[in-house]
Amino acid sequence: MNETAGLRLHIGGVVQKPGWRILNAQPGPGVDYVGDCRDLGRFADESVEEIYASHVVEHLGYVEDLPAALAEFHRVLKQGGVARIGVPDFEVICRLFLDPRLALEHRFHIMRMAFGGQKDPYDFHYVGLTYEFLEDYLKSAGFSRVERVGEFGLFEDGSSVKFGDIPVSLNVIAHK
């Protein structure tokens, strides 16, 4: 049996979950593959059933790296497969940041949502994505349809983060 038969790939994950394999740029106890999401060469064309990438692609440059990663997502997904992608919603973050009622420490926290926590070399954000921007990148990579969704409910991660009662994650399902 092919190692990737029925593969569901969690890109950027750290916590194992039955049915999912983890690809992360940094090694860790639950990481199955150490690698870069811009190069999924270890996976054959149309060998992955589903991709999950929560708060990963904003860490890529928007000129070359983001398009390369999304093209790789599309390449490895089987026909009819989906990529579930969550990113900080740049539009929501900008509106929150400009709210004059917020205290300085809250605005600083929001600024970190836009630019990353910057705790290590992988924790910098290089692009701010709105639904329109992300949809355009995904369609340019070959995805046929992109739909905005609420929380994914698959993993406890950034896809369900709220500031107060305001969701700050833009979550989409991209269909191949």
| Rounded Cα distance, 58 and 35, in Å | 17
- CB 141, CB 74: distance < 8 Å: yes
Q: Which helix (H) or strand (E) holds 22?
A: strand 21-24
Residue 2 has pLDDT above 60, yes or no: no
- What pLDDT sits at residue 5? 58
- For residue 111, give the 3-state DSSP assignment: helix
Dihedral sign computed on CA atoms, order 13, 17, 21, 27 = positive
Fold of 7-175: Rossmann fold (3.40.50)
The length of the chain is: 176
| Rounded Cα distance, 81 and 17, in Å | 19
| Rounded Cα distance, 168 and 96, in Å | 9
- CB 142, CB 74: distance < 8 Å: yes
pLDDT digits (tens, 9 = 90+) for 21-40: 999 999 999 999 999 999 99
Residue 6 has pLDDT above 90, yes or no: no
Residue 3 has pLDDT above 80, yes or no: no
- CB 96, CB 60: distance < 8 Å: no
Of 4-8, 29-33, 97-101, 127-131, least confident by mean pLDDT is: 4-8
For the entire predicted model, the pTM comes to: 0.94
pLDDT digits (tens, 9 = 90+) for 67-82: 999 999 999 999 999 9
**Domains of the chain: which residue ranges?**
7-175
